[in-house]
Structure 1
Amino acid sequence: MRSTPAFAGLALALLSYAFPSLARESPRSHVEGVASAIEQNYFDERRAKQISTGLRGAAAKGEFDKLTDKRELASALTIKLEPFDRHFRVGWTDAPREQPAADSPVISPAQSQAKHRRGNYGVRRAEVLSGNIGYIDLRGFAPFEFGVAGQPERQAIEAALQLLAGTDALIIDLRDNGGGAPQMVGYLSSAFVKKDADIFNTFHGRDRTMSEAPLDWYPQPRLDTPLFVLTSARTASAAEAFAYTLQSAKRATVVGETSMGAANPGGEVDAGHGFSVFVSFATPINPITKANWEGRGVTPDVAAEPAAALVTARRLALEAVLAKGLSPELATDTRWALDALRAEAGAWPQVPADDYAGAYGMMAVDTDQGRLVLQQGRRPVRTLLPLGGDNFAVLENASQRVVFQRNAKGLVEALELRHSDGDVKRHRRGE
């Protein structure tokens, strides 16, 4: 039977009577849901009242009435709330949401185990750079539980640290790290300080406090290894906690740009009708600074554009290693790595390619896009970086150098392939 307009109107009225939320749902009702979530859960009750009252007042003035698209409303509310706390974030979805544990004072955003696994638990890359500098590209602080054996999140960071255990300095790259779990912050920090060092943040919530100090400490901390932490405006939350903690303890040099300034951890709270709001449940206090980085960010010790931060940190690391003192052979290798890095980062001067191009026994020198390259059979091509005069570093292997030899007439007659361990091979230029 076809319904008439009158029947449809009656049906809607009956539905509204049976399910009042259908009648009440509007941008203002959604704002009320967000405001209530903040008022009931934000760590500072006084500020929670102020923020929620201000949000309700804006809604009463009609500030959000035109935002009937729920995604646009969520974005507008995020922009409205961010000045009060950098962690505030409103979302909307028509899919069921996972709810955070009700009894947890500090909760990271819910993420599935599969997502953590596919991201290798935050460890994007771990490698040894030239000059024996360790490098970890860490994209997140994965959650784990202390006292539970075999957790892949903990094993991943331990594997990275073990891989780099023999390096002379270490760089931890947090430029693309948006945060994560405080357990991992404490555990990774403990890999660089004395056991039981009083350096860790204490989180203060409405009804409890919690320390970021790990329950299990890393068993072989590296107390004297030069440590550098890279930051950018993307670095946030737990990543900032790691940088701030070790910087405040004077255990790490922070390189890059000022971080986001999101200090207060929390979790997502259901605000009704598919809306949620990330609410800070606590605020950290550092035992050294008696403060935190909320709204200000972590200020780097050495400022650098994000794209240049790694090169800057590598230079600082090599200089720090040389300053500590090395055996002559190792010092040579480190200096060569530093020279190659400076040559790579600097403006490449034009070199008289015709002076050098040609065959040298089993090797050949040619040009590629204006750069000198060294070829040896089917081996990978090596790029030569000008160091001044007839001396060149090897881009792909800083432990090697190429030095061209000239005869009495000033013409190049040979090349020497030198290694930082003292080995030298000489190849005469073909006629």
Structure 2
Amino acid sequence: MTTLTNLQLTPVIDETARLVAEHYVFPEIADKLADLLQRRLAEGAYDVGGAEELARLVTADLQSLNDDKHLRLLFHATPVSPGEGAATLESIRRDFDTSLGGAPRVELLDGGVALLELAPMLFPLDWAAEPLSAALTLVSRASALIVDLRKNLGGDPDSVAFVCSYLFDERTHLNTMYWRDGERTEQSWSLPYVPGARFGGSKPLYVLSSESTFSAAEELAYDLQQLGRAVVVGEPTRGGAHPRKGWTVHPHLEATVPTGRAINPVSGTNWEGTGVQPDVPCAAAESLEQAHALALARLAG
């Protein structure tokens, strides 16, 4: 067990409270949460000794007001670097190397329908562009495509836009990020050029979802659904729509704080708290069979 002395505990909570107060996308809630952490510290609620248990308790408190699943104190079993965002990058690099860059399955199903699984996440684009391009180019000749996001836990919004760029014929406004200061927005568009061949914007497209699908994977499903490009098949997703940053506050602890919120250009809202609602609800285990049947029926018709 990774232990925390009393001398270590107070700086961890102080720094986590400061980061939330200064950066959380909703300032009014940020101040309340910072006060809550300080009050719980004074009450002795965090006197648990272990970093992993502390992370669990602090995360529960951080999510107690509005259930923001991106607002967390994360425990890392291996000590991580102190640089901003370094803890997350270090923890996911091994997953990238063991998942073929986040595209672990490409398969041609009966009837000319391709299956592309993107998991366990949409990795940073500077890592993932090459494997994503290779996989998307490979399925570009299929008559219909099923994108499996059932085991995808999130990732990079730039990688979302990169994947979408293979699934439209023209440049398309996908999403807009609104940042805490209220003065800066950042639009996300599909790219005018992609390496390799596009699947395009007219052939049948289906997205598989589960209760585990989260964050950037939800954005991919939501963007394609709201723009009328894809049919989502499966279960409602987890419901995390706020982009976040991470700061190391202890060699084994990372505070992750959402700094913005996503607004879809079609719906005017996002999937925070509600998840992406499937067009064809079914158990995640049955969704591939369902989507394949839908694709074959549409191709036959």
Query: Is the structural similarity TM-score above 0.5?
Result: yes
Structure 1 spans left out of the alignment, 5+ residues: 1-20, 102-106, 146-151, 324-431
Counterpart in the other structure of 2:290: 312
TM normalised by structure 2 equals 0.87
Bigger helix fraction: 2
1:71-86 to structure 2, matched below 5 A, reads 71-83=52-64, 84=66, 85-86=68-69
Q: Is the CA contact 2:165–2:191 (under 8 Å) kept in the aligned structure 1? A: no
Normalised by the size of structure 1, how large is the TM-score? 0.62
Deviates more, 1:29-38 or 1:167-176: 29-38
Give secondary structure in 1 for the equivalent of 2:125. coil
Q: Is the 8 A contact 1:170 1:226 kept in 2?
A: yes
2:254 matches 1:276: yes
Give 4+ residue runs of structure 1 displaced > 6 Å after superposition: none
CA RMSD of aligned residues (A): 2.4
Q: CA deviation at 1:34?
A: 1.8
Partner of 1:299: 277
Query: What are the Cα deviations for residues 67-96 of structure 1, in whole angstroms up to 9, with x where unaligned?
Result: 222211111212222353111221245724
Amino acid at match of 1:231: S
Render the CA deviation track for 1:237-291: whole Å, top value 9, x for unaligned: 1000000001001111001101010111112112346432111121111111111
Q: 1:162 deviation in Å?
A: 2.1
Question: Out of 37, 52, 59, which is 2:34 matched to?
Answer: 52
The corresponding residue for 2:147 is 172
In the alignment, the residues of structure 2 paired with residue 154 and residue 184 of structure 1 have an alpha-carbon distance, to the nearest angstrom, of: 8
- The total of aligned residue pairs comes to 289
Distance 1:243 1:195 in 2: 19
Q: 1:226 to 1:196 in 2, by over 3 A?
A: same
Q: After superposition, where does 1:384-395 map in structure 2 within 5 Å?
A: none
Matched to 1:120, the amino acid is L
Q: 202, 206, 210: which is aligned to 1:228?
A: 206
Structure 1 residue 117 corresponds to structure 2 residue 97: yes
Which secondary structure does the structure 1 equivalent of 2:178 belong to? strand
1:253 counterpart (226, 231, 236):
231
2:179 alignment partner AA? G
State the partner residue of 1:99: 83
Q: Secondary structure at the match of 1:35?
A: helix
Shift of 1:194: 3.5
Q: Which residue of 1 aligns with 2:18?
A: 36
How big is each residue's C-alpha offset from its partner over 1:35-62, in whole Å with a ceiling of 9 and x where there is no partner? 1221122123222112212222333333
Tell me if 1:88 matches 2:63.
no
Q: 2:161 aligns with which of 186, 210, 219?
A: 186
Identical columns (%): 30
From the superposition, tell whether residues 96 and 160 of structure 1 become closer, same or farther in structure 2 (CA, over 3 Å): closer
Equivalent in the alignment of 2:264? 286
1:203 aligns to 2:174 (yes or no)? no
CA displacement 1:322-379 (0-9 Å, x = unmatched): 12xxxxxxxxxxxxxxxxxxxxxxxxxxxxxxxxxxxxxxxxxxxxxxxxxxxxxxxx
Structure scoring higher RCO (CA < 8 A, sep ≥ 6) equals 2
How far residue 234 of structure 1 moved from its aligned partner, in angstroms, is: 0.7
Deviations along 1:8-49, one digit per CA (max 9) or x if unpaired, are xxxxxxxxxxxxx976434x5533332122112212322211
| Structure-2 residue corresponding to 1:144 | 125
Amino acid across the alignment from 1:201: N
CA distance in 1, matches of 2:19, 2:96: 28
Q: 1:37 to 1:274 in 2, by over 3 A?
A: farther
**Which ranges in structure 2 are unaligned for 5 or more consecutive residues?**
none
Q: Report the equivalent of 2:115.
A: 135
In the TM superposition, residue 312 of structure 1 has moved relative to its aligned partner by 0.9
Contact 2:148 / 2:209 at 8 angstroms: preserved in 1? yes
Aligned positions of 1:64-75 closer than 5 A = 64-65=46-47, 67-75=48-56
Once the two structures are superposed, residues 288-308 of structure 1 have per-residue CA deviations (whole angstroms, 9 ceiling, x without a partner) of 111111111101111111111
